[in-house]
Amino acid sequence: MMKKRIPTLQGALIIIVATIIIIPSSYFLIEKIQSDDTARKEKIEKEHDLEKTVINIEKDTVSETILEYLNKYPEKAEEILGNLFFEISEDETKKVIQSIKKADLTGNNSEELAIVFFSDHQTLQGTPSAFAVYSKENGSYEISFEKDLGLHDDYFSYFIRDINNDGTPNVVLVTSQCGAHTCQSFVNVIQYHKEEWHNLTPNMYMPSSEVEFKDYSNDGKEEIILTGGGIVSVGAGMQRSRTEIYAYRDGEYDLLKKEKEEPFNIYYLMLDAHENIAEEKMIDALMLTTKALQNPDFGVNETISERDQSRILAYTGIQLMMIYLERTPPDIGPAKIVLGEITKKYHKHNNPYIDAAHVLIDTYDITGNLMEACQAMEEVIIQAGSEAYFLEQRGYATEKIPKEEICPW
């Protein structure tokens, strides 16, 4: 018969050590399993959150909603924002975000998020209507700049580059806002400078225009070139296209040069002559007035009535008279010959410019001062009221000389 073995001291120690090791290990193992299970649940929940999310455009402020999701998932910003949608109908949705670009816009060695998005129901069928820059401060995002782009229906383009060559990138937005007849092109150049955001083109727009960015002056800075200007509307009236060139100067884009389409009738010959006289470009003004007076039917159609034609050509004669009187010494004789010719041809249809022409020469004969004579002529035109309009049917977009500014100086 075997004897019952009594544990020795060594065996007891082994049992104690094993107990100390196994029991905590089992506890930690159970804890790890529970932790892994929790992590798996969180991962599933997070993946579920990253699925398509429909936000309420009527209740939610879109820029703030974007900020909320950025800070909820900062490591997956582009992924989560790409999954934000608006509900257009029961079976149709549209993405909230149109574009996300990353760039160090503030020079703090940290990339900002420049985001273009839809912000209201009216623009869901067109182009985006809002822009915001989200900057990261102390580990979380904040809205550092926001701009409403208006209600746009047609065209949108957007890029980031240093167009004014000052070492800081610009956010450039070109948008088109359309009305019943015409689309207006708007240019916004946004830049962070001296710890503030600035719009370098606060009022730059042109109807029916093309926009180009080009180093026109060859100085390393890109000019902004807008070409167009026509308004497609029955009430807009006679128009011609133009080109405006804007250059970066003193922290903003200013108009550098304006080029107009060549005159295609006597009305535009007269307008351009007026501008050249004001700028003391007398040779150019002489060529324009001479062309109009020698070709009185140039470009005349149903837009210019006989009544309009008589006023345009009579004032063109006054312009030619002023060109002669401005010379040193004054050519008084040729000026009086022109007066006789326009009086004979255009003294009809209650034309106030014939009376004004006589006042011009009579005042000059008395004073010998062209400026005084010009101002006296202008007073006659002002007193004539609507009879002094060059075009009887004046469109709201047609170039005009206000009768109060008929004297070019």
What whole-number distance in Å separates Cα of residue 271 and Cα of residue 390? 11
Residue 178 in domain = yes
- Helix, coil or strand: residue 169: coil
Q: Which of 278, 279, 271, 274 is nearest to 398 (CA)?
A: 271
Q: What is the mean pLDDT of residues 38-54?
A: 57
The lowest-confidence range among 26-30, 73-77, 382-386 is: 26-30
Q: Which of 261, 276, 294 is the last residue of a domain?
A: 261
Shared domain for 99 and 208, answered yes or no, is: no
Shared domain for 121 and 163, answered yes or no, is: no
Residue 18 in domain = no
How far, in Å, are 173, 189, 377 from residue 102 at the CA level?
A: 15, 17, 62
Q: Which residues pair with 246 in a beta bridge?
A: 224, 255
Residue 35 in domain = no
How far, in Å, are 17, 49, 85, 290, 292 from residue 305 at the CA level?
A: 116, 70, 57, 21, 16
Residue 52 in domain = yes
**Contact by Cβ (8 Å): 243, 226:** yes
Task: Provide the sign of the torsion angle of the four alpha carbons 297, 299, 302, 303, taken in this order.
Answer: negative
Could you tell me the residue range of the domain that residue 201 belongs to? 152-261
Residue 69 in domain = yes
The whole model's pTM is what?
0.74
Q: What is the mean pLDDT of residues 182-207?
A: 92
Q: What is the mean pLDDT of residues 111-139?
A: 84
How far, in Å, are 75, 205, 273 from residue 175 at the CA level?
A: 31, 9, 35
Shared domain for 231 and 361, answered yes or no, is: no
pLDDT band, very low/low/confident/very high, at 55 (cuts 50, 70, 90): confident
Residue 62 in domain = yes
Residue 25 in domain = no
With a pLDDT cut of 70, the percent of the chain lying above it is: 86
Contacts 24+ apart (CB under 8 A), 39-47: 46/73
Q: Give how many domains the chain has, as a whole number.
A: 3
φ, ψ dihedrals at 236, nearest 5°: -70, -30
Shared domain for 254 and 279, answered yes or no, is: no
Shared domain for 211 and 182, answered yes or no, is: yes
**pLDDT score for 80:** 87
**pLDDT score for 12:** 53
- Is a pLDDT exceeding 70 seen at residue 121? no
- Per-residue pLDDT of 265-299, as tens digits, reads 999 999 999 999 999 999 999 999 999 999 999 99
Residue 15 in domain = no
Q: Which of 101, 126, 150 is the last residue of a domain?
A: 150
The lowest-confidence range among 151-155, 252-256, 320-324 is: 151-155
> Average pLDDT over the chain, rounded to whole?
87
Shared domain for 388 and 333, answered yes or no, is: yes
How far, in Å, are 127, 153, 185, 201, 226 from residue 178 at the CA level?
A: 11, 6, 9, 20, 17
Q: Which of 221, 245, 261 is the last residue of a domain?
A: 261
Shared domain for 217 and 137, answered yes or no, is: no
What whole-number distance in Å separates Cα of residue 371 and Cα of residue 324? 13
What whole-number distance in Å separates Cα of residue 188 and Cα of residue 139? 30
Beta strands per DSSP E along 250-305: 252-260
- Is a pLDDT exceeding 60 seen at residue 25? no
Select the more confidently predicted residue: 44 or 91: 91
pLDDT band, very low/low/confident/very high, at 47 (cuts 50, 70, 90): very low
Shared domain for 281 and 398, answered yes or no, is: yes
- Is a pLDDT exceeding 80 seen at residue 366? yes
**pLDDT score for 77:** 84
